[in-house]
Chains A and B, each alone.
Chain A
Amino acid sequence: MASSNGSDPAAPVRARGLVKRYGELVAVDHVDLNVRAGDVYGFLGPNGAGKTTTLRMALGLITPSEGTVELFGRDPLRVGADALEGVAGFVEAPRFYPYLSAGKNLELLAALDGSGARTRIGEVLDTVELTDRVGDRVGGYSHGMRQRLGIAAALLRRPRLLILDEPATGLDPAGMRDMRLLIRRLAEEGITVLLSSHQLPEVQELCDRVAIVSHGRVVYEGALSDLRRQGGAGYRMHTTDDAAALELAGRQAGVAHAHQGEHAIAFQAEEPDVGELTLALAAAGIGILSLTPELATLEDLFFRLTEGQADEVLDAPASEDGHSELVRAR
């Protein structure tokens, strides 16, 4: 149930004012996160933006300098391992004991999980297709196999929340595709996924909600679709007289950022204003040869948000629960 401030206190992940300082360096700067049940939540940012540090705080591995983070309403710093009930995943690369086989590694982790996790080892190895390598020492595993073993280790815990930090990093294209399919499949089974990544196609394909971090701060949090809409509906237009059309578009109400592109006029406008523009062009005797709508890509928006153009992003509309999702624009 959502609280009055718009966030569910028992949400899979709820961070408030999370700060991590290392001396003078502020690695994470007042980060708020709201991962809702059922989300495939993308945690996006360039390297060094503070994603992994935030995830480490979420898992109780490091102590925040300020703020709190709760998993299903439980703070790992206050309740210890109990806060990780129903939570699994890995930060940075999954790590195992290289001198033990995959099977022994999973047996060890299952012993630390309790609750009959040991009985699921075969099942999770099947899921990630490592059954035939179960007896091999992890020290001889490829990077991709370790990533898959990391997923298997996480699934042993029957998680309701899966925290994955760059799970596809270092995988070949087929491995990346398989990883995406696996994540999608787990999400379809009802597992909430918090996916840290800087691979935009991966996030675009998998995630419904995102937080974008830059220099330790969240510059956007909300639905991916909202973000793309806020990026502005752009259009490209080619006419019988581009120079005259550009001059007219520049004067037309509701048309913004009209400029001559490489082979066409580019501008931003809402749909009704585009209709008005086409009528005005027709009235001026200018024929429209092509008019193509262009939604901003996640990549465009990502760079605008993380490379100092965040101010251009419009204020986000309030979400369904009334919580304004555009947390901060630099």
Chain B
Amino acid sequence: MDQTQLFAALFASSVAAGMLGSLLGLGGGIIVIPVLTLLLGVDIRYAVGASIVSVIATSNGATASHLKDGIANLKVGMLLETATTTGALIGALATAAIGGRPLYLIFSVVLATSSVIMFLRRNTDETPNLSNHRWAARLGLGSSFQDRATGQTLHYGVAGVPVALGLMLVAGIVSGLLGVGSGTLKVPAMDVAMRLPMKVSTATSNFMIGVTAAAGAAVHFTRGDILPMIAAPVAIGVLVGAVVGARLLGRLRSSSVRTLFVLVLMAVSIQMAARGLGIQI
């Protein structure tokens, strides 16, 4: 491939990353990083820099376009951000102390387990949990949204707030340490602990990941990890894809979103296991 074709390939995969990311509440690093390292031979340092740009672009684009649909639970997002940002800070500070490879393996096992639990919870999509945890009632976290796939207004409560905060702290630490896993841990935590409807979990994850990534982004930007000629097609492509994906999220059935998420989670689990074994993908 010549340079123009490589550029086009990077742009196209960024659009795909943005679409998938905004549908599933992920940052798109799972697509952007392998494309850069395997296809373009970019050093992992610059690939992670581009991935952070991808996460923020997904978060900005997706949230801006599905904010009016009211799917994302902003209050839940703001509350959980306290834990994710704290975790990200701890993770960034601890990077030097812990070796990466065993961590990738643990991360891989966690993802595989979450994908199984999330698959088992697939029957909850039509009848959401209505009870609120004490803290959720106090902070008015319960809400509703109009599900355009079924035409129904879905009311839901928010369970397990302390557990979710704990899991978000861990999610933040892991993403601070590994530079990955922005959404892959957040969505299962909201699904399993808070028992939120699937679409609410992915949309709220989209809302949060930009903030978590922004903290790390400043460090990467100053250090020169973000190459302009790589970041440009990634940012534009992801933004376009995220807007399209956000429109799709409203129309897709929760069960379809869940199935897609479980499949992607399994793929990332394999990707992380490979990294843990020293294969860089």
A-B interaction: no
